[in-house]
Amino acid sequence: SIRLSPAARSLFDEPLAIAVQGLGPRQQVMLRTSLRDETGELFQACARYQAGDDGELDLARCPALPGGSFSGLEPMGLLWALQPQKPFWYMMKKDVQSPFVLQLEVFEGHGEPPGRLLAQAQHERAFLRDGVQRVPVREGRIRATLFLPPGEDPFPGIIDIHGLGGGLFEHRASLLANHGFATLALAYYQYEDLPQKPSELHLEYFEEAVNYMLQHPQVKGPGVGLLGYSKGADLSLAMAAFLKNITAVASLNGPVAITAIPLSYKDKTISPLTIDERQVKVIDSNILDCSDVLIDPFQAPGNQSLIPLEKAEAQLLFIAGQDDRVVKSEYYATEVCKLLQARGKENFQILSYPGTGHCIDPPFFPLYPIGNHPIFHKRAVLGGVLGAYSKAQVHAWPQIQAFFNKHL
């Protein structure tokens, strides 16, 4: 039998303890996990194990043997190593009110195809803890979803801003709310009645979201935090430079200059970083490598795209994947912090992760190393390798929470 702890349901970003009981002494088995996303696409991982002398197999104590999706002592390997059966597929969670269902199976032996099925179990991986409220927000121009933790006290407030591609993404905001943050997942284009293809973005829209949060009775002021990913990170950094009441910003693989779409505020417009399309390389079967297409904002003479971060009062946390092939996020973070240091500022820190690509999600989301490039709309290398990337997500997530807890 399979023993899971928690038994029936856990949060998606929580560890899950997996053990198998009642095997023969030193019996060889294969464990397999399967999960279908909301579009019906299948993700799977498998690992080879050998039970102990007592017929017990505890993944926290038994290393996986070579030949599966991973090897070594990896208690959560069967979750972080899940990979799509359809190439280049991203695991999406649109409806955070329903859990993902994880299937676990134990097969006899290490053969291919798998041997006899010995045991199976189901487990729900949820995005909302009991009592967390999901509130759709349609206030003025704002299109968003607010997640409120259980309880009457005001909570530290965070606005979560996603990257290029438009739409509304709730997976990160919902998981953060489980940890005690009032979190607003904010859409800014290609959603409901927001512009489909904006020729420019207006910082006033984001300012409206900040004001909405600060007037909310369950958001503890006097300022809010921002969690921005990719394009959402350059927007968050610009908000910190130009708007009031931004206390802390966490940038996930963010540029430190405006990218892709001009940004205007009051009577000023910042044009985006120039793209040098000659730097696009084509690697096998029409997959692009666009790691060098953005011109260097620190080398460009009089570059107007660089965000004037020296104006920001907020605490800044830069999280960078060293194998980010969309934005040179580690280089950007390092260079901008040198500039801040030269101005006598100390309001920044960098967390930099080897083997980690552009996509940094909460823990246990599958590796997404090749995906749709947000500007060229073709498949492109995003970067990252399985084990290192998964460890980075597990490490960064509590660091982000500790950062916001400290400064909010």
pTM over 0.75: yes
Calpha distance 225→247 (Å, rounded): 6
User: CB-based contacts of 139: which residues, under 8 Å, 6+ apart?
Assistant: 208, 212
Give me the active site residues, please. Answer: 230, 324, 358
Q: Strand, coil or helix: what is 30?
A: strand
Domains defined for the chain, CATH in brackets? 2-126 (2.60.40.2240), 133-407 (3.40.50.1820)
Question: What are the phi and psi torsion angles at 129 (to 5°)?
Answer: -70, 155
Calpha distance 396→333 (Å, rounded): 16
Calpha distance 267→146 (Å, rounded): 30
DSSP state of 140: T
Query: What is the H or E stretch that residue 400 is in?
Result: helix 386-407
Is residue 70 within 8 A of residue 76, CB to CB? The reply is: no
Token pair for 233: 């990170």
Taking alpha carbons only, the member of 317, 389, 397, 401 closest to residue 353 is 389
Burial of 83 (0-12, 13-18, 19+ CB in 10 A): middle
Query: What is the H or E stretch that residue 381 is in?
Result: strand 379-381
Calpha distance 105→346 (Å, rounded): 51
Q: Strand, coil or helix: what is 388?
A: helix
Q: Which residue has the tokens 């709730």?
A: 170
Within 13 Å, how many C-alpha atoms sit on residue 314's CB side?
31
| Per-position pLDDT tens, the chain of length 408 | 999 999 999 999 999 999 999 999 999 999 999 999 999 999 999 999 999 999 999 999 999 999 999 999 999 999 999 999 999 999 999 999 999 999 999 999 999 899 999 999 999 999 999 999 999 999 999 999 999 999 999 999 999 999 999 999 999 999 999 999 999 999 999 999 999 999 999 999 999 999 999 999 999 999 999 999 999 999 999 999 999 999 999 999 999 999 999 999 999 999 999 999 999 999 977 899 999 999 999 987 777 899 999 999 999 999 999 999 999 999 999 999 999 999 999 999 999 999 999 999 999 999 999 999 988 889 999 999 999 999 999 999 999 999 999 999
